[in-house]
A and B are shown apart, each in its own frame.
Chain A
């Protein structure tokens, strides 16, 4: 049976990027559908009735929601190429722990950096950098979080690199100055076609953020 894979997505979404990367790593052909988040398609509402959010992966008509669950699903179903999760259960648990950490911290703290100002922003910046430094420590001397090749944590985390320029401009700070090893890791990931094709240009993300700020009346 021919495999039918559809991804309902939104280009600037770091969560959507995770699934794009996973699909590209596995060489899976799929149909990409860009959603207008202010006018969500009937298909999106049908496939993700609980959250009504992107990304949604639709495989042979069946939806998978939540980006990390999609990455795990893609890794399981197309297991013969480019494994993303380690096979050792303890290493797998470690990878899941760090992907969960990225989920708990990076998006929210980053959002606070671009959405707030003054004291609130200063606090958010401080916590954000602390979080990045912790990730840097976990990376250590490895080329990737996954070791010698791109793994689950890399896929979970690298999308946020496309938002770094926006965070830096809004927060008036330099991430590279604070976390040079992390930026080196990010650039290493960007050399991979699967990543480079899946991430939008940083300037475009910044333009999107500026539009969001205008729309929501944030200075």
Chain B
């Protein structure tokens, strides 16, 4: 039987994308936690270009970049498909996944900046949410994937969980339910899905780590 291993980091939304996909498909895997401040030789060997997690190892073959991994998983294990079968619908889904990929780094940038720079990032985040509210969730669907979550829902996990935690940490208010009613419904629905609910990083743990990281960041900036 083929062995599946996942190199990840418990705080990374990109890592959770892969975990959820594997669980939705019922694939057994071994999880290896990476210390991102001290990356293992194995990780550097499997992802020499980007040196990042997540990395999926299937039959000793590494696959890097979370979206590439998700598409690979969906093709190798076709049960519980994560993308529409119709080519045009699939193209639309891929469009939104790319949008999520392009914009998600803004959320972690919120945490790494302050003052005017942070304000500018916050504005970009707000605009991203506006696009989702206006263009992506029309039609009153429960999820981006329709009645069930699919790869698009998974791709927007940063908006569903990480944004709120970083907002709390930084004392920002970008997402407000009354301003984004469709997005708000989606977030509630998404976080109620059992495989998501049972596999999300603990908020308190996240806040504690963010605080430590922020202190280290400021210390290195002033030194």
Contact = CB atoms under 8 A, between A and B. Distances in A.
Nearest to A97: B68
Contacts of A70: 91
Interface in B115-147: 131, 135
A100 B50 CA distance: 12
Contact of B88 (A64, A96, A101): A64
A93 B61 CA distance: 11
Given A62-B88, A97-B68, A100-B65, A69 B75 contact: no
A118 interface: no
Contacts of B135: 49-50
Contact of A69 (B58, B63, B72, B95): B95
A183 to B, nearest CB: 22
Interface in A95-135: 96-97, 100-101, 134
A81 B68 CA distance: 24
Interface string B30-59: 000000000000000000010000000010
Contacts, number: 56
Nearest to B101: A100
A93 B94 contact: no
Q: Give chain A's interface residue range (CB within 8 Å of chain B).
A: 20 to 34
B99 interface: yes
A65 interface: yes
Given A89-B76, A96-B68, 12 more contacts: A64-B88, A66-B94, A66-B98, A69-B94, A73-B87, A73-B90, A89-B72, A90-B61, A92-B72, A97-B65, A100-B65, A100-B68
Interface of B: 49, 58, 61, 63-65, 67-69, 71-72, 75-76, 87-88, 90-92, 94-95, 98-99, 131, 135
Closest 6 CB pairs of A and B: A93-B72, A89-B75, A64-B91, A73-B91, A96-B68, A69-B94
